Chains A and B, each alone.
Chain A
Amino acid sequence: MAIEKFSTVTSTCIPLPIENVDTDQIIPARFLKATTKEGFGDNLFRDWRYDEQDQPKSNFVLNDPTYSGQILVGGKNFGSGSSREHAAWAIAGYGIRVVVSSFFADIFKGNSLNNGVLPVQVSEEFLAKIFKAIEADPKTTITVDLPEQSITLDTTEDSEKFEINGYKKNCMLNGYDDIDYLLSNKDKIEEWEKTSFY
């Protein structure tokens, strides 16, 4: 199952300056009943986005027409908690290609990469700079360049490098997923099994 290829994204941003955004907020458990991957974007941040009568909460960023774009910028420790990949499906389904934070939870990071959403980890200082720039001008754009592994605030040309392992980078650039790789090693798997204790 190929994932969408990723090279460079230039976009305005959706700022969410909250720390420890957990996957229960990204997609609450009661929306995990589907048996396919479609439709989760509609319920992205459901309980922050809608009130009990399912009316949009005007003070939440996704309901504020000032902000839009393919880049979500979150506070530190983004994606903590449950391993639900539905969180990555909700983010991808909403049309977001990049999540920027100063710190990501491990499982969320892996799930994002497996769905063509690039988690970009920046320094605390750079994150603060991004939030400030968006606050000053919501039309601020950021360019995320995967081949160069760089993230740039386009107006000021402030830039930082980000890390991604070479294997995952290659997968994102070419739209490969892991199963193709794993199965290409079938003989090694079977060889390993001969030595297995269990």
Chain B
Amino acid sequence: MAKTLFDKIWDAHAVTEVTDGPTQLYIDRQFAHEVTSPQAFNGIRERGLGVMRPSKTTATPDHNIPTWNQNQPISDPISKFQVETLTKNCEEFGITLYGLGNKKNGIVHVVGPENGYTLPGMTIVCGDSHTSTHGAFGTIAFGIGTSEVEMVLASQCILQPRPKTMLINIDGELGDAVASKDVILYIISQLSTGGGTGHFVEFAGSAITSLSMEARMTLCNMSIEMGARGGLIAPDQTTFDYIEGREFAPKGEDWDKALAYWDTLKTDEDAEFDKVFNFDAADIEPMITYGTNPGMGVGITGSIPSLSDIDEAGQATFKKSMDYMGFQPGDQMVGKKIDFVFVGSCTNGRIEDLRTFCSFIKGKKKAEHVTAWIVPGSRQVEKQAREEGLIEILTEAGFVMRQPGCSACLAMNDDKIPAGKYSVSTSNRNFEGRQGPGARTLLASVLTAGAAAITGEVTDPRTMMESAEPALV
């Protein structure tokens, strides 16, 4: 029977099927961080169990660490204890840890791919919903709860109901300054924040295959924001070129074997999906969100819907959202004054994001009233940015690069947007309070964030570009 790529990987990892229940799925790689793992380690300890396959879990603190003065002890004692608990747990159970200050430390979904841990055909989990990022390599990667982290530590397996499959096909060429971030914000705006629930998505089509790996990661990263269990893209030469030579990638004879296997990782021609959506790349313009979930987005030249555009059942929620954001239904987005810009996160904190941002702001000056936090996704990204001279470009334009971490994406550390302030953010969620209590988040691409940082208001990046060229990411 013809199979989708998702079915092939899922079936290959099914240890057994529970009668009238979920699949027992083998997990090839687990990533762990300080926030969602301590209770799982406590659990196996209380049960008197060990970690079944310690070499298949890799840990790095990222959510709850400062992005300034990382060489000094963490000042918040509760955060410090949480980070130290991860260190202790990894030592006790023999798990590789890239701790604070380690040259491989960084956001878990940046660290995995850049070190060659993430490989096509794998099943990957982490106690973080943006684990879907790794789907860019043709993996089944999804976020899990802490009870499930405990399951994987104890048995290298997880019990999961089999999701349905969805194909999202995007053909055509992306327009000027349209990034994969805009593509995914567009898809979510069309399908809604729950439109993918219960499904695992495969992204395909010429607009997808032409994307770089970094751009594919941005796309798959936010598949959870449409409620999908995860999103994946069939591996191709772009994938193989990215992986080759990375530290934990297969080498020599193993590389050849891996390539032969990876070549089989594609959806069969006549395979059927439970749902199919087709989009035209030409319909997508730079996007920005105006509300309090990632589905509340419009093209940057567009306006917020008016109340009559919203179905009656959703009107109360829509009004609540507008009150929170301080916007009126029908408002134009361009020209809205902003206070903060955040470039970073597992969505847009990779080297290509920083390159794109720097090539855009080079020779320009940050608006004086804007506070900008530029946060690399990992120590390696930070190092590369330094080596490529990006720091100088940032400094000249009035920006400062901070140290790696999840930072203002979820504001667990001190990187909080003050109440009532507007933040154009390259992160993934614009929920109430996500970037700090009362903070108002407008999600956008790196280029749109760059444009806002320079003008101090929501700005169409296309109006500021010297040469019309597609965005890198």
Q: Could you tell me which A residues sit within 8 Å of B by CB distance?
A: 1, 17-20, 22, 24-25, 28-30, 32-37, 47, 52, 75-77, 80-86, 88, 103-107, 110-111, 114-115, 124, 165-168, 177-179, 181-183, 185-186, 188-189, 192-193, 196-198
What 20 new A-B contacts, CB under 8 Å, besides A77-B197, A82-B129, A107-B144? A18-B317, A19-B314, A30-B412, A35-B39, A36-B39, A52-B419, A83-B128, A84-B145, A85-B147, A106-B227, A110-B145, A111-B147, A115-B147, A166-B20, A167-B18, A189-B155, A192-B26, A193-B26, A198-B121, A198-B122
Residue numbers in A under 8 Å from B194 (CB-CB): 20, 76-77, 80, 103, 105
CA distance A183 to B148 in the complex (A): 13
Contacting pair B293 A80 (CB below 8 A)? yes
Q: Across the two chains, which residue of chain A brings its CB closest to B44?
A: A179
Contacting pair B431 A22 (CB below 8 A)? yes
CA distance A30 to B119 in the complex (A): 33
Least CB distance from B64 to A in Å reads 6
Contacting pair A29 B24 (CB below 8 A)? no
Partner of A84, one of B36, B79, B293: B36
Whether A83 contacts B129 in the complex (CB less than 8 A), given A20-B194, A179-B151, A198-B28, comes out as yes
Contacting pair A32 B412 (CB below 8 A)? yes
Q: Across the two chains, which residue of chain A brings its CB closest to B56?
A: A198
Partner of B15, one of A18, A28, A189: A189
Contacts between chains A and B (CB distance < 8 A), count: 195
Contacting pair A20 B46 (CB below 8 A)? no
Pairs A–B under 8 Å by Cβ, sample size 6:
A19-B314, A35-B81, A52-B437, A105-B227, A107-B129, A197-B258
Whether A24 contacts B155 in the complex (CB less than 8 A), given A33-B78, A35-B42, A106-B197, comes out as no
Residue numbers in A under 8 Å from B81 (CB-CB): 35
Contacting pair B85 A167 (CB below 8 A)? no
Q: Does B82 contact A (CB under 8 A)?
A: yes
Partner of A179, one of B28, B154, B163: B154
Least CB distance from A174 to B in Å reads 14
CA distance A196 to B29 in the complex (A): 12
Residue numbers in A under 8 Å from B119 (CB-CB): 198
Residue-wise interface mask of B (116-152) relative to A, using a CB-CB cutoff of 8 A (1 in contact, 0 not): 0001011000011101000000000001111110110
Residue numbers in B under 8 Å from A20 (CB-CB): 193-194, 293, 317
Q: Does B282 contact A (CB under 8 A)?
A: no
CA distance A189 to B434 in the complex (A): 39
Contacting pair A186 B155 (CB below 8 A)? yes
Residue numbers in A under 8 Å from B151 (CB-CB): 178-179, 182
Residue-wise interface mask of B (279-310) relative to A, using a CB-CB cutoff of 8 A (1 in contact, 0 not): 00000000000000100000000000000000
Q: Across the two chains, which residue of chain B brings its CB closest to A113?
A: B147
Contacting pair A24 B429 (CB below 8 A)? yes
